[in-house]
Structure formats: C-alpha cells, structure tokens
C-alpha cells in the first residue's frame, strides 16, 4: 500500500501521519489481514458481526464477562458460560502506530487496546479506524465496526457517534 492509499473498505487517508514520517495512515487498518481460525469455542465471537453485534462469553453463575473464550470462568470457575451481546461501546486504554512492514507493501496503521463499556477488565487489541493518528487519545470513546472477510467479522473500533447514555 502506498502512502495515502485507501485500505479495504476505507474512504481515503486515515491519519495525519504523526510519528510516521508524514505518511498518511489507511482508514481501515492494514491492507492484508491474517484471519483467525474459527473453532467451536470462539465461533460466536468471530462470526457475531454478521448481525452487527459484538459478543463475549458471560458467566451464568457470577455474571463476569470472560475473554478470551475459556471453558471456565476465571472468577468463580463455573462452566456455565454463554455468549452475550454487549453494546459495542468501549474506551481507548492505549494506542500505538505500527510502522513495521510485517507484510511487504503494507503501510503504517493504528493499533488500540480498548476496554468494553460493560466491564473495563475485558479488553481487546484491535485496529482504530476512521480517525487520524493525532486525534486518538487515551480515554477516547469508541464503537465497534466490523471488517468482513470470508466467514470472519473482525471487530475494529472507530470514534463513537451519538449518545452514550
């Protein structure tokens, strides 16, 4: 991907290039994505974006969210776990710009660690999209958007729009 090029599903340059030598960031993350292996234990997470909903396991005994998927709740050790829809809203806990060309021809992109609104202990490492690098801040409100590839819906996060009440 060349400087200022649009990533998959993007609408143009996605960043100011802060910290990247003036190179614009793709609006939708890296040009090529390695997809996760879908297993029975994680299928709900990777395919949930088909209906636009983000889901995590939730313990029926203590009501804790569990991520990554596990056969037992780490809080109470119950095996009474089931996928549950969450709001899709989160807060940026940390972020960085990836400039390492892991895949030949790939350009810089934003990586974020976000905590979901329902439980700040549940965090995802994801791409921050549709935002300039210089605009991202710790504590920034974000919302999920899905990047669809084959059977997988990757949860990405963009600046939140609308009411968070």
Look at residues 123, 143, 133 and name the one whose alpha carbon lies nearest to residue 96: 133
Distance CA 58, CA 83 (A): 6
Q: Which residue has the tokens 């960031």?
A: 25
Four-way CATH pick for 87-159: 2.40.50.840, 3.40.630.10, 1.10.940.10, 3.60.60.10: 2.40.50.840
Burial class (CB in 10 A: 0-12, 13-18, 19+), 157: buried
Helices (H), 5-164: 43-47
Cβ of 70: how many Cβ atoms within 10 Å?
12
Look at residues 155, 108, 158 and name the one whose alpha carbon lies nearest to residue 128: 158
Whole-structure pTM value:
0.80
Q: What 3-state DSSP class applies to 156? A: strand
pLDDT string in tens for the chain (165-residue length) = 233 333 333 333 333 333 444 344 555 666 677 899 999 999 999 999 999 999 999 999 999 999 999 999 999 999 999 999 999 999 999 999 998 888 777 788 899 999 999 999 999 999 999 999 999 999 999 999 999 999 999 999 999 997 554
Which residues are CB-neighbours of 104 under 8 A, at least 6 positions away? none
Domain positions in the chain: 87-159
């Amino acid at each position: 991907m060349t400087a200022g090029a649009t990533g998959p599903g993007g609408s143009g340059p996605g960043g100011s290039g802060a910290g990247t030598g003036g190179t614009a960031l793709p609006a939708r993350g890296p040009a090529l994505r390695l997809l996760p292996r879908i297993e029975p234990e994680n299928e709900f997470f990777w395919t949930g974006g088909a209906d636009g909903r983000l889901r995590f396991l939730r313990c029926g005994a203590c009501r804790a969210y569990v991520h990554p998927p596990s056969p037992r709740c780490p809080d109470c050790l119950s095996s009474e776990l089931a996928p549950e829809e969450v709001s899709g809203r989160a807060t940026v806990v940390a972020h960085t710009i990836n400039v390492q060309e892991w895949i030949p021809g790939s350009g810089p992109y934003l990586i974020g660690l976000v905590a979901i609104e329902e439980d700040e202990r549940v965090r995802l490492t994801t791409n921050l999209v549709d935002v300039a690098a210089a605009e991202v801040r710790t504590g920034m409100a974000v919302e999920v958007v899905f990047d669809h590839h084959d059977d997988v819906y990757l949860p990405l996060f963009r600046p939140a729009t609308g009411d968070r009440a």
